[in-house]
Structure 1
Amino acid sequence: MRRAGTPIGYVAAIAVLGITVVPLLFVVLGGFRTTAQINASPAGLPGPWVWDNYASLLGSSAFWTFLGNSALIAVIATLLTVALGSMAAYALSRYDFKGREGFYTLFTLGLLFPLGVATLPLYLWLRQLGMLESFWGVAIPEAAFSLPVTIVILRPFMRAIPGEIEDAAVLDGTSRLGFFWRILLPLSVPALTTVAVLAFVTSWNFYLLPLLVFNDPANFTLPLGVATFQSQYSQDTARVLAFTALSMIPALAFFVLAERRIVGGLTGAVKG
């Protein structure tokens, strides 16, 4: 059975690789072609290679403005998610109080709550608070929508840390807050890295929330910038593909660099 399963596994891996990587290669390589070349041969390779598409975009201030806005919002949302998620997970994993499992179930149900359902009330709430055209108006809701998966990952990880460590820290005069800050957080670095990467990538790819909050193009994030660029240069397919490829690179690079830590954090959460 083991030998028979190996070829099937390789075929499945190749199929998944083809489904995920081939479209990315088409986008990246399409940016090195002209629109005429793409129309003549959509699946062809660049020949000759055209560098002007990427060069013009990297030399434009609009692309860097979109990139900076996305980075700022993603960093704020990630910090809020990790800070609030770690504190909530600590309380739900190390404290015994009435209704604890109910609160955890509520956060778990948040995984099933789609953003589209909250669009109208969220917009009205942000307008009431005067947070439209504000980076905080995007970062705070993004952090809120990332909290359920953060707590679901962190709680079992923190719960698996032996209670003897906390007891020893208390005997040494450490407060519960000191234990959380000095001992629990350092021991939870793999899980914290996992949720930080997930929150960052999720924020980076958010489209609906920035569309809801921003009307000024100067505040647009990269997903909004891609949509705006596509509408402005709908006839220039090659430049649109180049812009799309450039917008994917930061999140992909960040995800690839932190891949091992993500797997380690998820493994620890499952074991917990």
Structure 2
Amino acid sequence: MIDPQADTLLQTMRANARAMPDDTAEWLRGYRAQLDGLPQFQGPAPDIDVVDTTGPGGIVLRAYRPRPGVLPTVLFCHGGGFVAGTLRGYDIPLRWLALRSGWQVVAVDYRVAPEHPYPAGPDDCRAALRFLGDGGLGADAGRLSVAGDSAGGLLATLLAREAGDLRLALQVLLYPNTDLRQDTPHASRPEFDGTVIRLPELYRSLALYLGATDRTRPDVSPLLAPDLSGLCPALLITNEHDPLRDEAEAYGARLRDAGVPVEHERMPGMIHGALQYGAVVDAGDRLITRVADALRAA
């Protein structure tokens, strides 16, 4: 059963949804506008020090700083199917995350497809993490973590696997994509098709992002990575009513099998995108606190 507050929100989304246009450019404009409208479900923005800077290669980084000085820092990669998502769309929940955790939260405005297909987005996130590892934005290189939701959760898995000498404290994976193959055994995809994520839109966005790229590559489908041993601890959050649920939970199982400490919570009754709904769905606000608690303990 869907959480009643989430169901009310879902019905609003469905009432405002349009049929997917055949024209890719028209669809992309509408999809991006839809994601940019999510702040209406997030409430007023709390006051915090916000610093925008240009990182390596011209990447825009936005830092939410709960206090001055050198700070433990989490790099956040936004969702959006690798074709959408902006700093604005995540501004309010990331403000709350920084205030509740005491960690600096740095959002990376990585490049998206089709203007910048794979591997532009992953490359931007890699560069942003290296920048923080070198002490950029007052980050404490000894207390770094990575986080992301949906497509950004996949990018966070990539950063955790490639961290090398950085020795990350935590990887926060919020209902991540982990398998970008279209033909998969994950039953939650057809079961919850249309519950926020519509599969035709998912597959269109992945085609724009990947083109002819081999979808079994570990940096494309982390679920298929041959070795996950030695990674930092993970907080994995999944939603009961989410097309991405099964692939995310399969990745969590693979992490555990590789000896990685994993805290997993499946949010009962919840739908994809919980982080974005804090003002209208109580579970979305609780999710921010859950992540903040994990960061404080890391």
Q: TM-score, normalised by structure 1?
A: 0.21
Tell me which of the two structures has the higher relative contact order, counting C-alpha pairs closer than 8 angstroms and 6 or more residues apart: 1
The structure richer in strand per residue is 2
TM-score normalised by length of structure 2? 0.20
Give the helix-richer structure, 1 or 2: 1
